């Protein structure tokens, strides 16, 4: 169960968030709106990450899904796995993003992005060889955008997990799986 009750979705900031979301608020938004300045900045940053960059959507969603899996943010995974499919990843490639899964379906480029995401998420530091290869593959702008996306979604996943946003009560989970 979430650690904070949903905030009321009223006011200018909530309206801006709703506009970006196509008219609705998510449980994440309802948690963020307890601090309007934070919610407003978050909305601007994540709006840019999701909609205003040259990084291919497939690579963006691959990185987001991998961060979600590594950090145990199932709410984030449920939101972004379908987007990864819409961006052109196969169901087998999306499944390969789970920790410990067979990575065979991933292309060499996808593997490189996965490994970069793993390094940034697990240890923060990325070795020079991997960084140089990925930078060469993507070019400077997309390399920076990928790095920013991974950083931003590590922030998202940590917020979601810490506040239990989108998590069901243990008894509800048992009922769903029973």
Q: Measured between alpha carbons, how far is 63 from 50 in angstroms, rounded to an integer?
A: 12
Q: What is the pLDDT of residue 168?
A: 60
Q: What is the pLDDT of residue 80?
A: 97
In degrees rounded to 5, what are phi and psi of residue 103? -90, 0
What is the token pair recorded at 43?
């909305």
**Residue 176: pLDDT over 60:** no
Q: Sort residue 27 into left (φ over 0), alpha (ψ -120 to 50) or beta.
A: alpha
pLDDT digits (tens, 9 = 90+) for 136-171: 999 999 999 999 999 999 999 999 999 999 876 443
Q: What is the pLDDT of residue 177?
A: 30
**3-state secondary structure (DSSP) of residue 94:** helix
pTM: 0.91
């Amino acid at each position: 169960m979430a650690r904070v009750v949903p905030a009321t979705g009223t006011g200018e900031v909530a309206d801006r968030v709703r506009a970006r979301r196509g008219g609705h608020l998510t449980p994440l938004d309802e948690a963020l709106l307890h601090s309007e300045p934070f919610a407003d900045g978050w909305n601007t940053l994540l709006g840019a990450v999701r909609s205003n960059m040259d990084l291919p959507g497939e690579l963006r969603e691959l990185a987001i899904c991998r961060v979600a899996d590594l950090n145990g943010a199932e709410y984030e995974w449920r939101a972004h796995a379908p987007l990864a499919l819409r961006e052109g990843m196969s169901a087998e490639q999306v499944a390969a993003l789970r920790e410990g899964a067979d990575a065979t379906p991933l292309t060499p480029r996808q593997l490189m992005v996965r490994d970069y995401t793993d390094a940034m998420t697990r240890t923060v530091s990325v070795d020079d060889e991997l960084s140089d290869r990925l930078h060469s593959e993507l070019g400077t702008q997309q390399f920076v955008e990928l790095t920013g996306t991974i950083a931003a979604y590590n922030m998202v996943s940590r917020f979601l997990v810490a506040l239990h946003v989108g998590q069901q009560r243990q008894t509800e989970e048992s009922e769903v799986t029973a």
